[in-house]
């Protein structure tokens, strides 16, 4: 025998599975990472008392201004991120909610993931040297370049390491600095032939750059929208797709020429 339910009772019964699902989601860890602005480092200067870039086998020039690579500080790859924290992160401008796989693309233990990121940084350093020497038309191996960024992992400092090497060896090519004496920050991967690639957490990196005194931020062009969405007041965004384009933009900025914008 079937019994007809009243509308309120029917709605209440239908809501039970939804409430159960929400309750489970509130208690279960979710595949997201919470990020916030991390440290920045001037690749033209020192980090923990040691030069970030050391060139041997060629004369280097003194530099003015700063070239600051930027980072994010994210919850660990095995951290339990729950729905309450995600909701809080979505409504804060100093936090970003990111898919965990976009921050930690490798699988394995925390130690294995950390080593993977350090290996990525080491590979990025080698490629950054090649990109800079290619830009300057110098033969690979014509100079030795050592890079020391401590335990910073990942490939996103590649562009700025290349710019730092170019500034130390050649400046703007006319006796001046690439920075024009400014504090320039940014992010981006690099390939040996000078292509700039996108990275994660750009909106958090712009905030880190502004916090540490940058007035200009070089951003991979594909991520202009994300950078613009949370751009701090007074921070100028310059989109880049190649190492050569980044150098040209910095030169134009100093000379009052036309500079691309997001």
3-state class of 156 per DSSP? coil
d(CA 185, CA 40): 8
3-state SS class at 118:
helix
- The CA distance from 232 to 210, in Å, is 7
Buried b (16+ CB within 10 A) or exposed e, 221-257: bebbebbbeebeeebbbbbbbbbebbbebbbebbeee
67 neighbors 160 (Cβ within 8 angstroms): yes
Is 261 annotated as catalytic?
Answer: no
Annotated catalytic residue 258: no
SS3 182: coil
Task: Give CA–CA dist 11/75, Å, rounded.
Answer: 39
* Phi/psi at 70 (5° precision): -125, 155
Q: Can you tell me the distance from the alpha carbon of 158 to that of 243, in angstroms, rounded to the nearest whole number?
A: 10
Q: Which of 156, 162, 203, 249 is catalytic?
A: 156
The separation between the first and the last C-alpha atoms of the chain, rounded to the nearest angstrom, is 67
**Phi and psi, residue 191, nearest 5°:** -110, 165
Q: How far apart are CA 71 and CA 157, in angstroms?
A: 8
Q: Find the catalytic residue in 168, 203, 205, 249.
A: 205
Catalytic residue IDs: 156, 205
């Amino acid at each position: 025998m079937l019994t007809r339910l009243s509308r309120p009772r029917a709605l209440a019964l239908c809501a039970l599975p939804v409430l159960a699902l929400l309750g489970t989601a509130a208690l279960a860890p979710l595949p997201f990472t919470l990020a916030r602005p991390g440290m920045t480092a001037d690749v033209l200067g020192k980090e923990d008392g040691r030069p970030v870039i050391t060139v041997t086998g060629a004369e280097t020039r003194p530099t003015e201004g700063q070239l600051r690579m930027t980072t994010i500080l994210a919850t660990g790859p095995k951290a339990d991120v729950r729905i309450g924290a995600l909701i809080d992160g979505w409504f804060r401008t100093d936090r970003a909610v990111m898919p965990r796989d976009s921050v930690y693309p490798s699988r394995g233990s925390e130690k294995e993931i950390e080593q993977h990121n350090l290996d990525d940084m080491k590979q990025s350093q080698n490629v950054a040297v090649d990109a800079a020497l290619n830009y300057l038309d110098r033969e690979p191996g014509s100079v030795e370049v050592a890079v020391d960024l401590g335990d910073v992992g990942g490939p996103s400092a590649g562009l700025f390491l290349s710019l730092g090497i170019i500034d130390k060896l050649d400046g703007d090519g006319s006796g001046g600095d690439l920075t024009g004496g400014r504090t320039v920050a940014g992010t981006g991967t690099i390939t040996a032939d000078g292509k700039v690639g996108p990275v994660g957490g750009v909106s958090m990196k712009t905030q880190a750059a502004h916090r540490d005194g940058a007035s200009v931020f070089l951003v991979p062009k594909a991520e202009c929208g994300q950078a613009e969405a949370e751009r701090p007041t007074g921070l100028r965004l310059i989109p880049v797709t190649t190492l050569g384009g980044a150098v040209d933009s910095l030169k134009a900025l100093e000379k009052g020429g036309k500079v691309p914008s997001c």
